[in-house]
Amino acid sequence: MVTQYVRIPHERIGVLIGHNGIVKEEIERKSASRISVDSEDGEVAIEGIEGGDQVKTLRVADVIGAIGRGFSPEKAVTLMDDDLLLFEVIPLDHLTPKTLKRVKGRIIGEKGKTRRAIENMTGAKISVYGKTVGLIGFSHQIKVAGDAIEMLIKGTPHSTVYSFLERQRGVEVGEW
Protein backbone atom coordinates (compact mmCIF):
# COMPACT_ATOMS: atom_id res chain seq x y z
CA MET A 1 0.00 0.00 0.00
CA VAL A 2 1.13 3.54 -0.74
CA THR A 3 1.30 6.13 2.02
CA GLN A 4 0.24 9.67 1.14
CA TYR A 5 1.29 12.75 3.09
CA VAL A 6 -0.61 16.00 3.48
CA ARG A 7 0.33 18.98 5.63
CA ILE A 8 -2.37 21.11 7.23
CA PRO A 9 -2.17 24.26 9.36
CA HIS A 10 -1.61 23.59 13.05
CA GLU A 11 -4.87 25.34 14.00
CA ARG A 12 -6.89 22.92 11.79
CA ILE A 13 -5.55 19.71 13.40
CA GLY A 14 -8.28 19.74 16.05
CA VAL A 15 -10.95 20.03 13.35
CA LEU A 16 -9.47 17.06 11.48
CA ILE A 17 -9.34 14.90 14.59
CA GLY A 18 -12.68 16.08 15.99
CA HIS A 19 -14.08 15.70 19.50
CA ASN A 20 -12.78 12.41 20.92
CA GLY A 21 -11.36 11.55 17.46
CA ILE A 22 -14.78 11.20 15.83
CA VAL A 23 -13.97 13.04 12.56
CA LYS A 24 -10.72 11.16 11.95
CA GLU A 25 -12.44 7.85 12.75
CA GLU A 26 -15.29 8.56 10.33
CA ILE A 27 -12.88 9.41 7.51
CA GLU A 28 -10.91 6.23 8.25
CA ARG A 29 -14.10 4.15 8.27
CA LYS A 30 -15.50 5.66 5.04
CA SER A 31 -12.19 5.28 3.22
CA ALA A 32 -10.77 2.05 4.66
CA SER A 33 -7.58 3.86 5.58
CA ARG A 34 -5.46 4.67 8.60
CA ILE A 35 -4.67 8.29 9.34
CA SER A 36 -1.77 9.40 11.54
CA VAL A 37 -1.51 13.05 12.55
CA ASP A 38 1.71 14.67 13.74
CA SER A 39 0.32 17.44 15.94
CA GLU A 40 3.72 19.17 16.06
CA ASP A 41 4.13 19.99 12.36
CA GLY A 42 0.67 19.24 10.92
CA GLU A 43 1.87 16.38 8.71
CA VAL A 44 -0.83 13.77 8.11
CA ALA A 45 0.02 10.27 6.84
CA ILE A 46 -2.71 8.32 5.03
CA GLU A 47 -2.31 4.59 4.54
CA GLY A 48 -4.80 2.33 2.81
CA ILE A 49 -6.00 -0.83 4.51
CA GLU A 50 -5.49 -4.10 2.63
CA GLY A 51 -8.64 -4.96 0.66
CA GLY A 52 -10.08 -1.44 1.01
CA ASP A 53 -11.34 0.83 -1.77
CA GLN A 54 -8.11 2.35 -3.09
CA VAL A 55 -9.90 5.17 -4.91
CA LYS A 56 -11.50 6.31 -1.65
CA THR A 57 -8.14 6.02 0.08
CA LEU A 58 -6.61 8.32 -2.54
CA ARG A 59 -9.47 10.80 -2.02
CA VAL A 60 -8.62 11.11 1.68
CA ALA A 61 -5.75 13.46 0.77
CA ASP A 62 -8.29 15.84 -0.81
CA VAL A 63 -10.64 15.52 2.19
CA ILE A 64 -7.83 16.37 4.61
CA GLY A 65 -6.57 19.14 2.33
CA ALA A 66 -10.08 20.64 2.25
CA ILE A 67 -10.31 20.54 6.05
CA GLY A 68 -6.89 22.19 6.16
CA ARG A 69 -8.16 24.96 3.87
CA GLY A 70 -11.08 25.81 6.16
CA PHE A 71 -13.90 23.52 5.05
CA SER A 72 -16.02 21.83 7.69
CA PRO A 73 -15.48 18.07 7.94
CA GLU A 74 -19.06 17.54 6.70
CA LYS A 75 -18.40 19.45 3.46
CA ALA A 76 -14.93 17.93 3.00
CA VAL A 77 -16.14 14.33 3.43
CA THR A 78 -18.55 14.80 0.50
CA LEU A 79 -15.46 14.41 -1.72
CA MET A 80 -15.61 10.66 -0.98
CA ASP A 81 -19.26 10.42 -2.00
CA ASP A 82 -18.76 11.13 -5.69
CA ASP A 83 -15.61 10.48 -7.75
CA LEU A 84 -16.42 13.48 -9.96
CA LEU A 85 -16.31 16.01 -7.11
CA LEU A 86 -13.10 18.02 -7.11
CA PHE A 87 -11.17 20.04 -4.55
CA GLU A 88 -9.24 23.00 -5.89
CA VAL A 89 -7.29 25.81 -4.26
CA ILE A 90 -6.80 29.34 -5.60
CA PRO A 91 -3.64 30.78 -4.00
CA LEU A 92 -3.66 34.38 -2.81
CA ASP A 93 -0.09 34.39 -1.48
CA HIS A 94 1.06 36.71 -4.26
CA LEU A 95 -0.94 39.57 -2.70
CA THR A 96 0.47 42.05 -0.19
CA PRO A 97 -1.09 41.81 3.31
CA LYS A 98 -3.19 44.94 2.76
CA THR A 99 -4.40 43.78 -0.67
CA LEU A 100 -5.04 40.26 0.69
CA LYS A 101 -7.38 41.60 3.36
CA ARG A 102 -9.29 43.69 0.80
CA VAL A 103 -9.55 40.83 -1.72
CA LYS A 104 -10.74 38.35 0.93
CA GLY A 105 -13.37 40.92 1.94
CA ARG A 106 -14.49 41.26 -1.68
CA ILE A 107 -14.81 37.47 -2.07
CA ILE A 108 -16.67 36.99 1.21
CA GLY A 109 -18.79 40.13 0.94
CA GLU A 110 -20.79 41.84 3.67
CA LYS A 111 -22.01 39.17 6.09
CA GLY A 112 -20.93 36.49 3.59
CA LYS A 113 -23.29 37.70 0.87
CA THR A 114 -20.90 37.41 -2.08
CA ARG A 115 -19.56 33.98 -1.11
CA ARG A 116 -23.13 32.69 -0.65
CA ALA A 117 -24.22 34.18 -3.99
CA ILE A 118 -21.36 32.43 -5.83
CA GLU A 119 -22.15 29.17 -4.02
CA ASN A 120 -25.88 29.42 -4.77
CA MET A 121 -25.40 30.28 -8.44
CA THR A 122 -22.68 27.71 -9.18
CA GLY A 123 -23.33 24.89 -6.72
CA ALA A 124 -19.67 24.96 -5.65
CA LYS A 125 -18.71 25.25 -1.98
CA ILE A 126 -16.22 27.99 -1.10
CA SER A 127 -13.86 28.49 1.84
CA VAL A 128 -11.73 31.62 2.21
CA TYR A 129 -8.95 30.71 4.62
CA GLY A 130 -5.49 32.13 5.20
CA LYS A 131 -3.93 32.98 1.85
CA THR A 132 -6.19 30.68 -0.19
CA VAL A 133 -9.68 30.20 -1.54
CA GLY A 134 -10.79 26.56 -1.52
CA LEU A 135 -13.45 25.19 -3.86
CA ILE A 136 -15.37 21.90 -3.75
CA GLY A 137 -17.66 20.99 -6.64
CA PHE A 138 -17.96 19.40 -10.04
CA SER A 139 -15.58 20.65 -12.75
CA HIS A 140 -18.12 22.99 -14.41
CA GLN A 141 -19.10 24.45 -11.00
CA ILE A 142 -15.49 25.04 -10.02
CA LYS A 143 -14.74 26.62 -13.40
CA VAL A 144 -17.52 29.21 -13.11
CA ALA A 145 -16.93 29.89 -9.39
CA GLY A 146 -13.18 30.15 -10.00
CA ASP A 147 -13.73 32.60 -12.86
CA ALA A 148 -16.00 34.73 -10.65
CA ILE A 149 -13.41 34.72 -7.85
CA GLU A 150 -10.62 35.64 -10.27
CA MET A 151 -12.77 38.57 -11.45
CA LEU A 152 -13.17 39.74 -7.85
CA ILE A 153 -9.41 39.37 -7.24
CA LYS A 154 -8.75 41.60 -10.27
CA GLY A 155 -11.14 44.25 -8.93
CA THR A 156 -14.12 43.67 -11.22
CA PRO A 157 -17.25 45.32 -9.73
CA HIS A 158 -19.55 42.94 -7.86
CA SER A 159 -22.48 43.81 -10.14
CA THR A 160 -20.45 42.68 -13.17
CA VAL A 161 -19.52 39.43 -11.40
CA TYR A 162 -23.18 38.79 -10.49
CA SER A 163 -24.21 39.43 -14.12
CA PHE A 164 -21.51 37.00 -15.28
CA LEU A 165 -22.84 34.35 -12.88
CA GLU A 166 -26.41 34.90 -14.09
CA ARG A 167 -25.33 34.50 -17.71
CA GLN A 168 -23.40 31.34 -16.86
CA ARG A 169 -26.40 29.90 -15.11
CA GLY A 170 -28.73 31.07 -17.86
CA VAL A 171 -31.42 32.04 -15.37
CA GLU A 172 -32.42 35.40 -13.99
CA VAL A 173 -31.94 35.56 -10.24
CA GLY A 174 -33.78 37.86 -7.82
CA GLU A 175 -32.36 39.82 -4.90
CA TRP A 176 -29.65 38.29 -2.77
Rounded distance between C-alpha atoms, residue 143 and residue 166, angstroms? 14
Question: Same CATH topology for 3-80 and 86-169?
Answer: yes
Q: What residues have CB less than 8 Å from 165, skipping those under 6 apart?
A: 117, 118, 121, 122, 144, 148, 173
- The full set of domain ranges for the chain reads 3-80, 86-169
Residue 170 has what pLDDT? 64
Measuring CA to CA, which residue among 8, 64, 3 is closest to residue 38?
A: 8
- If residue 68 lies in a helix (H) or strand (E), which one and from where to where? helix 54-68
The distance of Cα 11 from the centroid of its chain, to the nearest Å, equals: 16
pLDDT at res. 54: 79
Record the pTM: 0.90
Sheet holding 132-137, edge to edge: 86-91, 132-137, 125-129
Q: What is the pLDDT of residue 105?
A: 97
Question: How confident is the prediction along the chain (176 residues), in pLDDT tens digits per residue?
Answer: 678 999 999 999 999 999 999 999 999 999 989 999 999 999 999 998 887 777 888 899 999 999 999 999 999 999 999 989 999 999 999 999 999 999 999 999 999 999 999 999 999 999 999 999 999 999 999 999 999 999 999 999 999 999 999 999 764 444 43
- Beta-carbon contacts of residue 109 (< 8 Å; ≥ 6 apart): 115, 116, 117, 158
- Among positive and negative, which fits the CA dihedral 147, 152, 157, 163? positive
Residues contacting residue 133 through CB under 8 Å, at least 6 positions apart? 89, 90, 92, 107, 126, 127, 149
Check: CATH 3.30.70.100 for 86-169?
no
CATH 3.30.1370.10 is held by the domain 3-80? yes
